[in-house]
Amino acid sequence: MKLQVINSPFSEEQVKLLNELLPKLTVEQKIWLNGYLSAPQSAEKVIVEESSQTVAPITKEVTILYGSQTGNSQGLAEKYASILKDKDVEVSIASLASFKPNNLKKITNLLLVVSTHGEGEPPDQAMQFYDFLHSKRAPNLEHLHYSVLALGDSSYEFFCKTGQDFDEQFEKLRATRIAPRTDCDLDYDEPAAQWFAAVQQELLRSTETVISSQQGQVDTKRTKSAYSRKNPFYAEVLENLNLNGRGSNKETYHVELAIEGADFHFEPGDSIGIQPENDESLVDALLTALQLNAESKVTVFEESLTLKEALQKKLEITVLSKPLLRKMAAYTTHEDFVALLEDDIAWKDYVKGRDLLDIAGDFAPFSWEAQQFVALLRKIPARLYSIASSQKANSDEVHLTIGKVSFEKNGRERLGVCSGSFTERIQVGDTVPIYVHKNQNFRLPEQEDTPIIMIGAGTGIAPYRAFLEEREELGIEGKAWLFFGDQHFVTDFLYQTDWQRWLVSGTLTKMNVAFSRDTDKKVYVQHKIEENAEVFYEWLEQGAVIYVCGDDKSMATDVDQTLHRIIEQQGQKTAEEAKAFVKELKQQKRYQRDVY
């Protein structure tokens, strides 16, 4: 439709020029022009000076990248991509492992959702992108508008460091923030929704489709189950058996939960999140030590509770962190407490294995009221346990493998919040609040006959039970090799009859075990891998996918070093070539880790 001179404020010459221009504009250009003309700003404000201030992007094309170790970042990225697509935004979404860093030059708007792993390290899939962005090859990104959502755990010293590093590096490369970075703790739903609402407002403010923060939540009509982390399903405990034999140094429990009616959908590699409660006796001791009234009314997460209820059911009291100690310092003049905070080595040594009851015993009194005290504490984080069963084989149940955490410190026995509940208090017939936690980074190969190599120690065996139960149910005949390690053959060979049955049926092709305390020489899974280096490398050449599940600081690190060494020696490669080979395995999803 052409613009007419009649009833318009334009001259005939201006109308002619507009009629020549308008048909040539794209929809995106028209939207931008409409937003610009309607904005209360002078032409001089169009010029954007070099600055770190937030500037509205000028396109409705968005790239969302995620770096995830356990699946949280990926889940959020996919949720936000879906919401934006519903608002007619053109969205591209990818893992940092599959995104080519040079493509940063081709995009205008970037949303990055990334977690921090271990002691401030990027997750596996983000390593290559992280290294590129911090290298001399990183390009000038002055054309790029971006925002970072960082996930982490505030009990670690380097809380959200990966997200912070990305945010600062993008700024150094002259990119412009769409919205400020948000750092999320384990209970990330609300701050993440607020970040996304701010991002949406900037992305869509030139249109009439600005979305409120409430609309940043998932539409429940899209979900297959009404139950989630914020609304857990109360599952009945069907079985709670100690897998370790008499005389073992460990207690590892096989737990079976009834999930009929939950409408859960999960795959091997996923986890179950459990919302635990603190031990009532520990709560009572803490209240006594702090001289606080258990029946005092407090408000926690917009809910009115007694102080005892809040400490037992809602708040974390067993983990000490630097941020928490700093907040506590405002309520004491205790010289030793102040000195502890000022000494980096001393406070790190002090907090290991200690909890709030230790603080109360060592540094009381504190001058807080009950409400001030609870305001310092964070929500009890859910505990994630790898699913040890196939839903195809057990449709109304989910099985878990839970190792009891127990140690002594300063003359007092300490128990894991969740594992202690299952080993000391929870009985068959009780119910526990659970939800499904997806982990797309720990999955069986799409091509079913691909060989798999499964490496785990202790409770790290759990997902492999699910893997093989699934393959058995589907009749998959691909090769499967299991490396398992624990302390003693007689007492600690977890799920021994299952593995033996699968070896006989052919579902499991090979199995090597390492029991570290059965001989004077400690033998671990990495030693068994090295003993079989030639065959191990042959499987790699045949396209095998490697899985590692277990402790990150010792087992997973040792296995990783062994893997590099085998590739270097058997493949006749240099150390750098072996490193590149392993990176390629990760990019191809042929080296997957579920470590903690």
Annotated binding-site members = 115-118, 151-160, 318, 383-386, 401-403, 416-419, 516-517, 522-526, 558, 596
SS3 61: strand
What CA–CA distance (Å, rounded) separates 200 from 218?
A: 15
> Which amino acid is it at 473?
E
C-beta separation of 327 from 337 below 8 A: no
Nearest to 163 by CA among 96, 103, 100, 104: 96
Would you call 123 helix, strand, or coil by DSSP? Answer: coil
**Element of type H or E holding 536:** helix 533-541
**Do 75 and 115 contact (CB within 8 A), yes or no?**
no
Lookup: tokens for 545: 């996918």
Classify 419 as helix, strand or coil: helix
Among candidates 247, 226, 251, 254, which has minimal Cα distance to 385? 254
Helix (H, G, I), strand (E, B) or coil at 18: helix
- List beta partners, residue 111: 64, 147
Cβ count near 379 (within 10 Å) = 14
Residue showing tokens 């396209």: 543
State how far the Cα of 159 lies from the Cα of 163, in Å rounded to an integer.
9
Q: 378, 185 in Cβ contact below 8 A? A: yes
The C-alpha angle with vertex 410 and arms to 407 and 412, in degrees rounded to 5, equals: 55
User: Binding site for NADP(+): what residues are annotated?
Assistant: 516-517, 522-526, 558
E-state strands within 6-144: 61-67, 90-95, 109-115
Distance CA 161, CA 302 (A): 30
Tell me if 341 sits within 8 A of 326, measured CB to CB. yes
| Annotated binding residues for FMN | 115-118, 151-160
State the DSSP H helix or E strand holding residue 271, giving kind and residue range, or none if neither.
Answer: strand 271-274
Annotated binding site for FAD: 318, 383-386, 401-403, 416-419, 596
How far is 522 from 15, CA to CA, in rounded Å? 87
Q: How many CA atoms lie within 13 A of 403 on its CB side?
A: 17
What angle is formed at CA 112 by the lines to CA 107 and CA 115, rounded to 5 degrees?
155
Q: Which residues contact 414 (CB under 8 A, 6 or more apart)?
A: 318, 353, 355, 405, 406, 407, 408
Residue 498 makes CB contacts below 8 A (sequence gap 6+) with 465, 468
At 302, is the secondary structure helix, strand, or coil?
coil
- For residue 384, give the H/E element and its range: strand 383-386
Please answer whether residues 576 and 564 qualify as being in contact, where contact means their C-beta atoms are separated by less than 8 angstroms. no
Contact between residue 469 and residue 562 where contact means Cβ atoms under 8 Å apart: no
Q: What are all long-range contacts of 46-50, with beta carbons under 8 Å and residues at least 24 apart?
A: 48/176, 50/142, 50/174
Determine the straight-line distance between the first and last CA of the chain, rounded to whole angstroms.
62
